[in-house]
Amino acid sequence: MVEKSATSRVEKLYAVKGMNDILPPDSSQWEWFEEQVRSQMTRHAYRNIRTPIVEPTALFVRGTGETTDIVEKEMYAFEDKLNGEALTMRPENTPGVVRAAIEHNLTYDGGKRLYYMGPMFRHERPQRGRYRQFYQLGAEALGFAGPEVDAELMLLAHQLLSDLGLRGVRVELNSLGVASERHAHRVALIEFFQKHIDVLDEDAKRRLHANPLRILDTKNPTMQKMVQDAPQLLDFLGEASLKHFDTVKTLLSACGVKWNVNPRLVRGLDYYSHTVFEFVTDELGAQGTLCGGGRYDGLFELLGGKPTPAVGWGMGIERVLELLKVQGHSNIVSSPDAYAIIPETAGLHTAMQCLQVLRSEGISVQMHAGTPDGMGSIKSQFKRADASGARFALIFGPDEIAQGVVAVKSLRDGSGAQLTQDLSQPAQWAKSLQSLA
Interface positions with ligand ATP (CB under 6 A): 92, 122, 124, 129-131, 134, 136, 287, 289-292, 314-316, 318-319
Residue (19 or 184) nearer to ligand ATP, CB = 19
> 76 vs 382, which CB is nearer to ligand ATP?
76
Pairing relationship of beta strands 338-341 and 392-395 according to DSSP bridges: parallel
| Separation of CA 318 from chain center | 7
Please give the residue whose beta carbon sits closest to ligand ATP in the complex: 316
**Minimum distance, C-beta of residue 342 to ligand ATP, in the bound complex (Å):** 44
Q: What is the DSSP letter of 349?
A: H
Considering the complex, state which of residue 274 and residue 368 has its C-beta at the smaller distance from ligand ATP: 274
Q: CB of 144: closest distance to ligand ATP in angstroms?
A: 20
Q: How far is the CB of 417 from ligand ATP (least distance, A)?
A: 48
d(CA 333, CA 320): 18
Question: 315 or 365: whose CB is closer to ligand ATP?
Answer: 315
Q: Which of 374, 348, 319, 314 is nearest to 164 (CA)?
A: 319
- Amino acid code (one letter) for 73: K
Minimum CB separation from ligand ATP for residue 155, in Å? Answer: 18
Rg of the chain on CA atoms, in Å: 28
Least separation, in Å, of the C-beta of 166 and ligand ATP?
Answer: 13
For residues 296 and 300, which CB has a smaller minimum distance to ligand ATP in the complex? 296
Q: Are strands 133-142 and 54-56 parallel, antiparallel or unpaired?
A: unpaired
CB of 13 to ligand ATP, least distance (A): 23
Q: What phi and psi, each to the nearest 5 degrees, are found at residue 360? A: -70, -15
Question: Whole-angstrom Cα distance, residue 50 to residue 372?
Answer: 44
Cα–Cα distance, 246 to 152 (Å, whole number): 14
Measured from the CB atom, is 136 or 308 closer to ligand ATP?
A: 136
Q: How far is the CB of 116 from ligand ATP (least distance, A)?
A: 13
User: Least distance from C-beta 125 to ligand ATP, angstroms?
Assistant: 9
Q: Which is nearer to ligand ATP, 247 or 289 (CB)?
A: 289
Q: How far is the CB of 181 from ligand ATP (least distance, A)?
A: 23
DSSP, residue by residue, 163-213: HHT----EEEEEE---HHHHHHHHHHHHHHHHHTTTT--HHHHHHHHH-GG
Residue-wise over 333-360: b if at least 16 C-beta within 10 A, else e?
eebbbbbbbbbeeebbebbeebbeebee
Nearer to ligand ATP, 233 or 354 (CB): 233
Measured from the CB atom, is 272 or 339 closer to ligand ATP? 272
The C-alpha atoms of residue 366 and residue 389 are separated, in whole angstroms, by 10
Q: Which residues contact 147 (CB under 8 A, 6 or more apart)?
A: 244, 245, 247, 248, 251, 274, 275
What SS3 state is found at 409? strand
- At its nearest, how many Å lie between ligand ATP and the CB of residue 142? 18
Determine contact, residues 208/198, Cβ cutoff 8 Å: no
Q: Identify which of residues 158 and 319 has a Cβ nearer to ligand ATP in the complex.
A: 319
